[in-house]
Amino acid sequence: MKVAVFSAKPYDQASLGAVQCPLTWHYLEPKLDVETAKLAHGHQVVVAFVNDDLSAPVLAELKKAGVKMVALRCAGFNNLDLDAANALGIRVARVPAYSPEAVAEHAIALIMMLNRRLHRAYNRVRENNFSLDGLLGFNLHGKTAAVIGTGAIGLATARILAGFGCTLTGFDVKPNPAFSALGGQYLGFDQCIEGADIISLHCPLTPDTYHLINAQRLGAMKRGVMLINTSRGALLDTQAAIDALKSGQLGYLGLDVYEQEGDLFFEDLSNRIIPDDVFQRLLTFPNVVITGHQGYFTQEALSAIACTTVQNIEAFAKGGRSGNELTKA
C-alpha cells in the first residue's frame, strides 16, 4: 500500500522507516493544503501532522486523488473537518497516546526555566556575567499548581508536580480518579485558576475551549501567576496574554504552542523576517519562554507514534479497525 507522508522531516522518515511493515512510504516535505494535496495522487493513504490542513476543500482534493484514509501522527485533530471526512468516505485514525511523560516533562522544564530564569542565566554566564540580580526564583514546594485537563498528559504532569511538593488542584469535564489519588482536588474552572500560583494547560482544542484563557480570566488570576501551555495555541488569547504581561498581572508565560504557529513552527526561518507582530512582541518579554512545539519530541514518543501510525494503516489495509478511528459523534 502506498502512503504519502506530508510535513515529513528527517526524524519522521527515520522513525517511520524503522518500523518493519509492507507499506511503501513517499515522504513529502511540504505541508498538506489545497495546492499540495495533488501530490497524494496514486496513494491510498495520507499521513498528516498537527499543522497540516485537513479542511473540507483539502479533503475533497484528497478524495479526487484517490485517498481513502488519513492517518494522523498526532493526538489532536482540531485541524480536521471530521464531518467532511465522513461525508467523503475517508477513514481517519489518530495516535491517541504515545508518551504522555514526554509532554509532561517539557511542561515542567518550562516551569523550571521560567522560575529560575535559566534562559537568562545561561546567556549571562556565556558573557562572563555571574551576577545574580534579577534571577530570584521561588520554591515550588508548597505552591498551588492547577492542572487543566487531567488525561494522560495532565496526570503525568500532576505526578511530577506532586513530587515537588505542590498542592494540586484540577479541572476536567471527566474527572480522573488517578488525579484524586495523588491528592489532587477538583474545582470549578474559575475557582481552579483563581487560586493557583502555576497553571498548566493540558486540554484539547474544541469550540468550547477556544480562548479558554482570555482577558477576563487572566484578570481573575493571582497577580504574577505562571501560565504554561503545551497543548494547543488557541487555548490562549495571545493578545490578552500580552496585555497581562505588560501590566504585570501575568508573571511568567511558557509556550510550546502558539495560535498562528502553522506558518512558523517546524521550519528554519532564521534567515527570514517574521511578519507576525504578535509573535515578535511575545519575544520581547524577559519572562516569556517559547519553544517550537517540541514537547512531544523524544525518542520514545517518536517510536510510539510511528508504531501506532503503522498499526492504524495496516488495520485499514486489512479491512479492519485499530480502535483509533475518529467517527462523527
Question: Per-residue pLDDT averaged across 259-271, rounded?
Answer: 94
Determine whether domain 2-98+299-317 maps to CATH 3.40.50.720. Answer: yes
Q: Do 2-98+299-317 and 100-290 have matching folds?
A: yes
- The residue from 94, 117, 217, 261 that is catalytic is 261
Active-site residue flag, 159: no
Say if residues 44 and 254 touch (Cβ distance below 8 Å). no
Q: Is 20 exposed, middle or buried (0-12, 13-18, 19+ CB in 10 A)?
A: exposed
- The residue from 43, 91, 106, 232 that is catalytic is 232
Active-site residue flag, 232: yes
Each residue of 195-212: pLDDT tens digit?
A: 999 999 999 999 999 999
pLDDT for position 188: 97
Each residue of 83-133: pLDDT tens digit?
A: 999 999 999 999 998 899 999 999 999 999 999 999 999 999 999 999 999
Q: What's the rounded Cα separation, in Å, for the pair 76 and 98?
A: 12
DSSP annotation string for 80-115 = B-HHHHHHHT-EEE----S-HHHHHHHHHHHHHHHH
pLDDT band at 42, cuts 50/70/90?
A: very high
Rounded to the nearest integer, the mean pLDDT of the chain is 96
Domain residue ranges in the chain: 2-98+299-317, 100-290
Question: Per-residue pLDDT averaged across 136-141, rounded?
Answer: 98
Active-site residue flag, 293: yes
The CATH number of 100-290 is: 3.40.50.720
Burial 145-177 (b: 16+ CB within 10 A, else e): bbbbbbbbbbbbbbbbbbebebbbbbbbeeebe
Question: Per-residue pLDDT averaged across 251-263, rounded?
Answer: 96
pTM comes to: 0.93
Say if residues 32 and 73 touch (Cβ distance below 8 Å). no
% of the chain surpassing 70 pLDDT: 99
